[in-house]
Amino acid sequence: MQAVLLAGGLGTRLRSVVADRPKPMALIEDKPFMEYVVRELKNHGITEIIFAVGYKGSMVEEYFGDGERLGIKVSYAYEETLLGTAGAIKNAGRLVTDERFFVLNADTFYQIQYDRLVKMSQEKNLDMALVLREVPDVSRYGRAVLEGDRLTAFDEKTEGTSPGTINGGVYYMKRALLDEIPEGKVSLEHDMIPKWLSGGEKALGGIVNDGYFIDIGIPEDYYRFIDDVEKGAVTV
């Protein structure tokens, strides 16, 4: 199985503590954060990784090489300019050979049931399956709603504090969707998913998962992940 890891962002919110490298390469003990993500993927049978890289992307390639050291196959899709999430996926898509593939944010560690997502996508013939997660307050993120296994609302703004489900940033999508993404800078979350959802011609669905989740986009969460690794709360 293949996965595209989105590692091309600038990581400006983490610059105060990680200034010399791309955010997903921030060190946790003696390994970059992204190695934890890669090892978690390998544990679930995802052994072909395409790194979508931009800012200081050569640092990623210098560290991971061809992937042999970790027992995986690695390739790289470089962005000359910032392309947004969907643009980066399209750029990396030329290296995708599987009919369906995973997409993940490289600065997020999320322990999910990958086999469950694959099985549901195949049984329901979904164009894209998303992983949602429960949070106590959706107003900060925008609500994503499943009715049964179908996605019915995405990035929906709410007023006031209320619990619910939000996008967890893990996708399993058909390669054919790459043709739907226009050239240039395009957002998956703000442009393509809302378009596919409102158009109704694409089958979007998902699961809700309560596994360990962290996004190291801000210093507090970066230090929390370091602490969780030291305590043994995260193992790969």
pLDDT at 14: 67
pLDDT at 232: 85
pLDDT at 20: 66
pLDDT at 42: 97
pLDDT at 11: 55
Count of the separate structural domains present in the chain: 1
Q: Give the CATH number for residue 24.
A: 3.90.550.10
pLDDT tens digits, residue range 54-65?
878 899 999 999
The DSSP call for residue 230 is H
Tokens matching residue 142: 């925008």
Q: How is 169-195 classified by DSSP, letter by letter?
A: EEEEEEGGGGGGSPSSS--IIIIIHHH
Residue 203 burial by CB count (10 A; 0-12/13-18/19+): exposed, middle or buried? Answer: middle
| Residue 151 burial (CB count, 10 A) | 23
Helix, strand, coil share (%) of the chain residues, nearest 5: 35, 30, 35
Residue of 73, 157, 185, 231 marked catalytic? 157
Q: Which residues pair with 172 in a beta bridge?
A: 102, 129
Structural domain span for residue 54:
2-231
In a domain, 236, yes or no: no
Tokens matching residue 131: 């992983």
When pLDDT is averaged across residues 141-167 and rounded to a whole number, the result is: 86
Q: Is 157 an annotated catalytic residue?
A: yes
pLDDT at 52: 96
pLDDT at 165: 92
pLDDT tens digits, residue range 170-193?
999 999 999 999 999 999 999 999
In a domain, 10, yes or no: yes
